[in-house]
Structure formats: C-alpha cells, structure tokens
C-alpha cells in the first residue's frame, strides 16, 4: 500500500484525488489543502502547497510514497525539485521546466528552438516597444502578460485601441509582476483543443483530446476565465489531426529531456489552435488542465496510480493508460460575477441528488464547510458536474439535468458546453 499526497485545492485536485482513491494500491490519501469535496476521497491537511519544507516534513512523517502536484504555483516555486531531492517520487516537473508555463516568452523561445508550430510573436519588456509593435502589426492581435495570471492575462484585441489598452494595463500592474513584460502575438483563427500528455524522461504518452470553454458566457462571449466547461474527446479532431498533435507533443517531450534532463516528470498540456495551416501551439502548461482533467480522468480506465508512479519514477514503458469509449461533458458551476468579483459563503444544496444519477460525477472546487457544517461556496469556480454517456447529446442532457438539481445563490454556468461537439 502506498500513501499519496496531492497538492492543490481545485476541481482538478478533486478529480485527481477521486481517481487515485480508486486504486487498490493506495493506502492513506492526503490532499493539501484540498476543498469541501476532497474530504470524500482522503484527508485534507492545512499545508501550503508552495512551502517545500512543510511538504517534505509532512511527507516524511506520513511515509508518503508519491507527491502529485496539481497547480502551477508550487511547480514554478520549485516544490517538485525539493521533494525530489529529498528522495520522494514526485508527479510534476522541476521549476526550470515549469517555466514552459511560468513564462510565456520562455515558452515561445522553446517552441521556436525546437521547431514546434506556433503563432509569430514579439516579447517586449517596455511599454513603448510593445505599443510600437502593436501599431506596426495592427489588429486583430493578442496581448499576453508574460508571467502567471491564472489564465486571465491574455487579451485577444479586435481593434488597435483595445490592444493598446491591454498593453497599458499590463505595464500598469493589472497582473502584478506577471505583466512586467508582455508577449504580443499574431492572432490565430480556428477551433481550440488541448492535448495532455504524460511526460517522463523525454517520452510522451498522449491522452485523448479535450476542449475547454474559456470565455465566461455562451457563444464564447465575455471575459476569459480559468475555464467554464470541457468535453472529451473532440470530434473536430480526426485521426490524422490527432496524430499530428501527438507528434508535436512527442517532439516537445524529447526537447524537455534535452533542456531539462530528467526534470520533466508530469503532465505537459499543449493548448492548440487548429488553424487551416494545421495545429499550432497557443501555450504550454506544466500540469493537468482545469477543467479538462475532470473530463479526461473521468474516462480513465484502470489504475491511475500505476501511471502516475511510472511517470514519477521515469518508467515511460509502464505508462499504459486505457480510456473509456464513453464521451464526457464537464459543466462548471461558478459564483455569480465570476471572473469578476463575487460573494462567497453561499450554501450549496442538491449535490447528493445529482451524484445519484447514473453516469454523473460532481467534483468540487471552490467549496468549504461553515461553522454549522454546511457546504458553502468559497471560490469563483465552485463545482464541476461531469456526465459520461454514449453520445454528446446524451452527456449534455445528463450534465445539465444534474446541474439543475444543484443550487446556490448566484449559480452561474454556460449552457452551451459541448454543443460544438454535436455540430461537427
Ligand atoms: P493562453 O493562456 O495563452 O492559452 O491564452 C488564453 C486564450 O487566449 C486561449 O485559449 C485562446 O482562446 C486565446 N489566444 C491565445 N493566444 C492566441 C492567439 N495567438 N490567437 C488567437 N487567440 C489566442
Ligand atoms: N483550462 C485551462 C488551464 O487549465 O489552464
């Protein structure tokens, strides 16, 4: 039996904990800090996931055999390096490799160095240069804060004025230090699609594609969010396209070995735009996506812990995931006002009723318990309702039926998640 520690507190971490808890090999499962849902899978521990010393101390005390890092912040902070150096297997890349997510300019340079297809760009660390480049190129154009901004540091500007304002906002500190330099990119057109791959020592084992819905409102309108829903697989991706994307991920994996040695053991998330010229990379993330993971792991058949351990120990040949033929649809229930300001502390009702439905899973994200032991909202993205079915029509119907059973004041969701999967 193996004791496992999962770091993070979102819907992704609930999905990770849920899938690990199903493994017959798991002993004690801990989630730090976890949320109102992860307590169903293991024990929440009040550790700061970015505090490497605390994570190592806890892991030694509890005889942890594997640490699984969910979010980007601990990766960028070097928690994987420290835990690895302490002799504990870790699922998650070292800090230098996590710059693929932590710095957009580093990531773009990496893509160019290794011949990976991506949008043309310019990195600028002064406002005047950035404005000059924006004016020279014209709209539409994409302005990205260089550092981590929780998926919200990107503006796709349809006109010059909006682009100039985005540049100005970045340098004025709208994203803190994340915006002290910017990447300005050619605007790519096409459907988006993510491909996640297990990466260990230069090898990639790709997962089925997933599609996120980043904008807040139906019809891809409104501001960018952390993600309002996802589905998997992606019918717009035929076999030839999937092969091409997997080739790109394999090239990227080999490049991680060249640049970071054995330091990349975890997931690499390729965010693609499927352009007329072929798939092009929009970004890399150094971790599982949220909410893509909820849609993808729901389809994982077999023992996830085997795969995670093999990745953490550099045994690429032992990473042999298999996937359900069912399709999945994940709808995010968010707090009213998200991604802007929103209220917390709203009592959540109806989760059990939703979970009783065949084919429905509810992963929790921004939830906690109040003094009366009631489940309450505590974040922007509150719940992820996942439905598994034989077709996207059925999965959508099931997911939205389940969403209707759940209530909290201000509940906000998109009603068009996976609609595109049906229209293909
Ligand atoms: P990123 O964090 O880089 O993935 O960007 C967030 C979102 O902005 C992406 O999911 C796309 O919807 C959009 N985006 C980013 N880069 C581009 C681009 N070069 N062209 C068009 N849209 C983009
Ligand atoms: N859903 C996008 C992300 O996890 O970055």
CATH number at residue 160: 3.30.1490.20
Tokens representing residue 360 in the block: 């429905």
* Domain finish residue from 180, 204, 221: 180
Q: Are residues 144 and 83 in the same domain?
A: no
Q: Are residues 80 and 143 in the same domain?
A: no
Identify the nearest ligand to the CA of 183 by its number. 1
Looking at the CA of residue 285, tell me the nearest atom of ligand 2: 5
- pLDDT attached to residue 123: 87
- pLDDT attached to residue 153: 77
**Cα(392)–Cα(6) distance, rounded to whole angstroms?**
31
Q: Are residues 15 and 74 in the same domain?
A: yes
Q: Are residues 69 and 130 in the same domain?
A: no
A 10 A CB-CB count for 99 gives 23
Give 62 Cα–ligand 2 centroid separation in angstroms: 31
- pLDDT attached to residue 177: 65
In a domain, 384, yes or no: no
Give 340 Cα–ligand 2 centroid separation in angstroms: 18
A 10 A CB-CB count for 313 gives 16
Range of the domain at 53: 2-94
Q: pLDDT (tens digit, 0 to 9) for every residue of the chain, 424 residues total?
A: 999 999 999 999 999 999 999 999 999 999 999 999 999 999 999 999 999 999 999 999 999 999 999 999 999 999 999 999 999 999 999 999 999 998 888 999 999 999 999 999 998 888 888 999 899 888 899 998 877 666 567 889 999 999 999 998 888 877 766 657 888 999 999 999 999 999 999 999 999 999 999 999 999 999 889 899 999 999 999 999 999 999 999 999 999 999 999 889 999 999 999 999 999 999 999 999 999 999 999 999 999 999 999 999 999 999 999 999 999 999 999 999 999 999 999 999 999 999 999 999 999 999 999 999 999 999 999 999 999 999 999 999 999 999 999 999 999 999 999 999 998 6
Tokens representing residue 152 in the block: 């919200």
Q: Which residue has the tokens 């996207």?
A: 392
Q: Are residues 15 and 59 in the same domain?
A: yes
- pLDDT attached to residue 203: 97
In a domain, 423, yes or no: no
Q: Are residues 7 and 88 in the same domain?
A: yes
In a domain, 75, yes or no: yes
In a domain, 284, yes or no: no
A 10 A CB-CB count for 257 gives 16
Q: What angle do CA 299, 302, 308 make, to 5 degrees?
A: 95
Ligand 1 shell residues, CB under 6 Å: 119, 142, 144, 151, 154, 156, 185-188, 192, 214, 224, 271, 282-283
In a domain, 175, yes or no: yes
Number of domains in the chain: 2
In a domain, 85, yes or no: yes
In a domain, 59, yes or no: yes
Residues 403 and 395 sit within 8 Å (Cβ to Cβ): no
In a domain, 16, yes or no: yes
Give 43 Cα–ligand 2 centroid separation in angstroms: 26
Residues 45 and 34 sit within 8 Å (Cβ to Cβ): yes
- pLDDT attached to residue 183: 87
Element (H, E) at 195: strand 192-200
Per DSSP (E only), the strands in 201-277 are 203-206, 211-212, 215-217, 221-224, 229-232, 265-275
Phi-psi category of 216—alpha, beta or left, where left has phi over 0 and alpha has psi -120 to 50? alpha
CATH of the domain at 54: 3.40.50.20
* Domain finish residue from 162, 180, 198: 180
């Amino acid at each position: 039996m193996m004791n496992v520690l999962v770091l993070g507190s979102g819907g992704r971490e609930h999905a990770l904990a849920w899938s690990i808890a199903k493994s017959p090999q798991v002993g004690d499962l801990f989630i730090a800090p976890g949320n109102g849902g992860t307590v169903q899978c293991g024990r929440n521990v009040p550790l700061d996931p970015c505090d490497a010393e605390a994570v190592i101390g806890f892991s030694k005390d509890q005889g942890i055999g594997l640490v699984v890092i969910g979010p980007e912040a601990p990766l960028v902070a070097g928690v994987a390096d420290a835990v690895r150096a302490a002799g504990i297997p870790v699922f998650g890349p070292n800090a230098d490799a996590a710059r693929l997510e932590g710095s957009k300019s580093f990531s773009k340079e990496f893509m160019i160095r290794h011949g990976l297809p991506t949008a043309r760009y310019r990195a600028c660390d002064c406002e005047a240069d950035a404005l000059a480049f924006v004016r020279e190129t014209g709209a539409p154009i994409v302005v990205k804060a260089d550092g981590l901004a929780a998926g919200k540091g990107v503006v796709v500007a349809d006109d010059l004025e909006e682009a100039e304002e985005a540049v100005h906002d970045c340098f004025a500190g709208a994203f803190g230090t994340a915006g002290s330099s910017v990447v300005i990119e050619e605007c790519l057109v096409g459907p988006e699609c993510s491909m996640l791959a297990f990466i260990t020592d230069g090898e990639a084992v790709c997962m089925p594609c997933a599609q996120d819905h980043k904008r807040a409102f139906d019809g891809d309108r409104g501001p960018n969010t952390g993600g309002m829903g996802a589905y998997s697989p992606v019918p717009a991706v035929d076999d030839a396209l999937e092969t091409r994307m997997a080739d790109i991920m394999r090239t990227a994996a080999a490049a991680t070995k060249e640049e970071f040695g054995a330091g990349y053991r975890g997931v690499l998330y390729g965010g693609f735009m499927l352009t007329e010229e072929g798939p092009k990379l929009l970004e890399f993330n150094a971790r599982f996506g949220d909410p893509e993971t909820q849609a993808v792991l729901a389809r994982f058949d077999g023992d996830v812990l085997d795969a995670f351990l093999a990745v953490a120990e550099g045994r690429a040949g032992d990473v042999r995931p298999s996937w359900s033929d069912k399709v999945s649809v994940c709808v995010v229930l968010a707090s009213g006002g998200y991604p802007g300001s929103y209220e917390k502390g709203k009592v959540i009702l109806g989760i059990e009723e939703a979970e009783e439905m065949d084919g429905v899973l509810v992963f929790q994200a921004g939830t906690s318990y109040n003094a009366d032991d009631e489940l309450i909202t505590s974040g922007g993205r509150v719940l992820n309702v996942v439905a598994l079915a034989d077709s996207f029509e059925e999965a959508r119907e099931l997911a939205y039926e389940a969403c209707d059973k759940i209530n909290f004041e201000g509940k906000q969701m998109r009603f068009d998640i996976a609609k595109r999967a049906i229209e293909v």
